[in-house]
């Protein structure tokens, strides 16, 4: 039987376009990174935070222009 150890996964510093992210409790597996959009941008994804998972930071977090169509 295989055992998966996730406690040593480090996602590194979180990053987001047109905003900033901070992980106050660290960047290891299971940690949450809170996101703030820059002035003139709003959340356009389905979440406002990331979570550190096996493949890195996960979550549909995006900052798009207020009243604009640039949601990338």
Say whether 50 sits in a helix, a strand or coil: strand
**Within a domain: 34:** yes
The answer to whether residues 34 and 10 touch, using CB atoms and an 8 Å cutoff, is no
**Within a domain: 49:** yes
- Of 8-22, 42-56, 58-72, least confident by mean pLDDT is 58-72
**Within a domain: 9:** no
pLDDT at 67: 74
- What domain range is 43 assigned to? 19-65
pLDDT more than 90, % of the chain: 67
Q: What is the pLDDT of residues 1-16, one digit of tens each?
A: 555 566 689 999 999 9
CA–CA distances in Å: residue 19 to residues 1, 4, 7, 54, 60: 43, 33, 28, 24, 14
**Within a domain: 39:** yes
**Within a domain: 5:** no
Is this prediction's pTM over 0.85? no
* Sign of the alpha-carbon torsion through 60, 64, 69, 71: negative
**Within a domain: 56:** yes
Residue 61 has pLDDT above 70, yes or no: yes
The answer to whether residues 36 and 19 touch, using CB atoms and an 8 Å cutoff, is yes
**Within a domain: 61:** yes
**Within a domain: 71:** no
- Average confidence score pLDDT of the chain: 86
Q: What's the total number of domains in the chain?
A: 1
Residue 35 has pLDDT above 60, yes or no: yes
């Amino acid at each position: 039987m295989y055992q998966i150890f996730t406690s040593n996964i480090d996602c590194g510093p979180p990053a987001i376009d047109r905003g900033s992210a901070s992980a106050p409790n660290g960047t290891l597996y299971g940690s949450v990174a809170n996101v703030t959009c820059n002035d003139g941008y709003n959340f356009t994804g389905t979440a406002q935070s990331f979570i550190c998972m096996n493949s890195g930071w996960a979550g549909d977090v995006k900052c798009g222009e207020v009243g604009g169509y640039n949601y990338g």
